[in-house]
Amino acid sequence: MKKIFLSLIFLLLFAQNTWASHPTLYEVEPNDTPAEATLFSGSIILTGMITEGDQDAFMWKIDAEDSQYRWSMKLIGIPNALTRIDIMKVQFTENGKEVEDYQKFFYFW
């Protein structure tokens, strides 16, 4: 009986943690250029692995309504290494493979 009770508690805690956790997206390589960027939308935790000389691109698509809200970002970088994030609007060529134009809004590190 005690074993069943402990199993039920474990299952309940596991289910609560799974349902309550924020969606997470792990990067997909290659994602070094805007055309290869890992696509996401909405509120999400992005995670990945940075190796020497690596850079990662993520493409955040939001609709007109969501663009009116205030969003917050938290950057957790590699200790004792430069980690920078650039926020920009990118316009692609018709084939979607090359950048036609971009507008840089801001950056932070």
Per-residue pLDDT of the chain (109 residues; tens, 9 = 90+): 555 654 555 545 554 444 556 788 888 888 888 889 999 888 888 888 777 777 888 898 888 898 898 888 887 777 777 778 888 989 999 998 899 999 998 888 7
Distance between CA atoms of residues 14 and 63, nearest Å: 33
SS3 (DSSP) at 10: helix
Query: What does each C-alpha distance from 91 to 47, 87, 99, 101, 103 come to in angstroms?
Result: 25, 13, 6, 5, 9
Whole-model pTM? 0.66
CB-based contact 58:38 (threshold 8 Å): yes
Distance between CA atoms of residues 60 and 39, nearest Å: 6
Following DSSP, what letter does each residue of 48-107 receive, concatenated? Answer: ----TT----EEE---TTGGGS---------TTS---EEEEEEEE-TTSSSEEEEEEEEE
